[in-house]
């Protein structure tokens, strides 16, 4: 069973109801992105792309459909974007603290009404 921002199934036929991420799991996920960025830098990549579209976990936090949380990670649009802001800030902090030059951090998003 997958996990998501909330225990809300996607709007697809026969979609499973995911488990809502715990707050500790959210912080662990942010740390995982930081570690992945560190590995990309060490491996000599030119950059990383944070994929915040196509109903993947990052996009689920911004969606009023999949994010029905009532804590710092959900509710208002500002709170729904808290995860994304912390994630992007954490990834760019890794890049800023490295000695790499011209490393690109991209963010893919899905434009829709939120």
pLDDT in tens, 47-72: 999 999 888 899 999 999 999 999 99
CA distance 55 to 66: 9
User: Is 8 a residue whose pLDDT tops 60?
Assistant: yes
Residues 72-83 pLDDT 10s: 999 999 999 999
Q: Which residues pair with 105 in a beta bridge?
A: 48
pTM here? 0.89
Among 19, 35, 39, 56, the active-site one is: 56
Instruction: Identify whether 107 is a catalytic site residue.
Output: no
Least Cα distance to 44 among 99, 97, 107 occurs for 99
Q: How far apart are CA 25 and CA 31, in angstroms?
A: 10
- For residues 24-44, one letter each, b for 16 or more C-beta atoms within 10 angstroms of the residue's C-beta and e for the rest, the string is eebeebbeebeeebeebbeee
How do residues 10-40 score in pLDDT, each as one tens digit?
888 998 999 999 999 999 999 999 999 999 9
């Amino acid at each position: 069973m997958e996990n998501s921002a909330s225990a809300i199934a996607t709007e697809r036929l026969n979609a499973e109801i995911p488990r809502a991420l715990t707050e500790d799991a959210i912080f662990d996920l942010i740390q995982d992105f930081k570690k992945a960025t560190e590995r990309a830098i060490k491996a000599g990549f030119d950059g990383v792309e944070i994929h915040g579209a196509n109903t993947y976990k990052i996009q689920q936090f911004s969606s009023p459909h999949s994010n029905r949380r009532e804590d710092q990670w959900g509710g208002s649009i500002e709170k729904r974007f808290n995860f994304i802001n912390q994630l992007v800030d954490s990834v760019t902090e890794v890049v800023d603290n490295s000695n790499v030059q011209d490393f690109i951090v991209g963010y893919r998003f899905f434009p829709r009404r939120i």
